[in-house]
Amino acid sequence: MDNLITYVKFRGDLSFKQQKFNENDAMVLVIVTSIDYEELDCTGMTIGELFKAYTELNKKDEQDECLDDKEAILKLAALSNRYKDIPIERYVRDIDETEEKTFYAMTFTMGRFEKMVVYRGTDGSILSWKENFNTIHTMPTPGQYSALKYLQEELAKPFVKVSVAGHSKGGNLAVYAAMSLDDKLRKKLKKVYAFDAPGFPEDISEKLGYLAVKDLIEAYVPESCVIGNLMKPPFEKIVVKGIGKGVYQHDMFNWELGATGILMAESTNLFSTELSAKVNNWIEGIPLEERGRVVGELFDVFSKNGITHITDLMHMDLKKIVGIIKCATLLSSENRTLLGIIIKELR
């Protein structure tokens, strides 16, 4: 089964004149943006230069075959005719614990007057996960506001046409920013790619801003979609054939791709329908005015036990496990329900 790595390996030799830009290419740029470059100032680099600088900064061998999937995409893109000379016009990494925001964005120059704005999704920190949960009770979140401001600044430049893309939270940011533009800037918007992006805490399907960009949105979800069904996603979904089991299909490396685009499935599957319904029922069962309290309570459990990154949950010592169990017994019924769903489905 061919995935994104296969696509870049076998299509990276073709220029965009030889094969026009498609959703697979948008996914490649989303993956490039999803790597945390920390102290590296990416602005002004090409993708080829970025890979070289990234490996030097992280003391990685450019020839190393032991790169993770995201780094492998960056390497393949950096060595390809298709992507290596794409300039990165602007990179923003804005982490604010007070605002509970982890915002990352890149602008790629795709032609003289054409740009691609990409927003990164969740970065793995507990702060970023709490930001995700905050979307069930707040709109706009600080991250959504930052996404809008970033896109406005790009569209304000003379003559440009801009496409926007993102995966998961990044896709939600892309849709929010696009639908929140004023009429003048919205006319310069070319396309919005949302890859397995969650919806919003309220129905926006009839709002004028959304209706104005609706036809520009391409929203892709895997067969075992869960994240892309959460809350109230207004967009029509294009279902991608998935590789692997259940929630692991949220990872775009577990999507089947062809030479010129994604491979479509007929519909999402039973796993998607059932688990999405369970989580959405949990959300809908909490009054909107109570959701902030419930989210805060859940993440206080992690904070009190020194858990700052999602990987901490996978490598807990006995002391942390006991601490979480003690805290969990004090959780409200809403959060005990959610933990039960998570444990059952991810075990």
Block residue for tokens 């007929």: 266
pLDDT in tens, 91-126: 999 999 999 999 999 999 999 899 999 999 999 898
**Alpha-helical segments (H) within 180-243:** 183-186, 208-213
Instruction: Give the confidence band of 337 by pLDDT, cuts at 50, 70, 90.
Output: confident
Is the model's pTM score more than 0.85? yes
Residue 53 has pLDDT above 80, yes or no: yes
Those residues whose C-beta lies under 8 Å from the C-beta of residue 42, and which sit 6 or more positions away, are 50, 53, 88, 91, 106
Element (H, E) at 328: helix 318-328
Predicted confidence band of residue 237 (pLDDT cuts 50, 70, 90)? very high
Distance of CA 111 to CAs 85, 86, 160, Å? Answer: 11, 9, 9
With a CB cutoff of 8 Å and minimum separation 6, the contacts of 319 are none
Q: Nearest CA to 195 among 162, 176, 214, 217? A: 217
Q: At 162, phi and psi to the nearest 5?
A: -130, 130
Residues in the chain: 347
Say which amino acid occupies 171. G
- Contact of 291 with 238, CB cutoff 8 Å: no
pLDDT tens readout for residues 257-305: 999 999 999 999 999 999 999 999 989 988 899 999 888 888 888 787 7
Q: What is the pLDDT of residue 346?
A: 46
Q: Which amino acid is at 290?
A: E
Query: Which domains, ranges and CATH numbers included, belong to the chain?
Result: 4-268 (3.40.50), 285-346 (no CATH)
Q: Is the pLDDT of residue 77 over 90?
A: yes
Query: Residue 257: helix, strand or coil by DSSP?
Result: strand
CA–CA dist 251, 148 (Å, integer): 25
Q: For residue 96, list its beta bridge partners.
A: 101
Question: Please, what sign has the CA dihedral across residues 70, 75, 78, 80?
Answer: negative
Arithmetic mean of pLDDT over the chain: 90
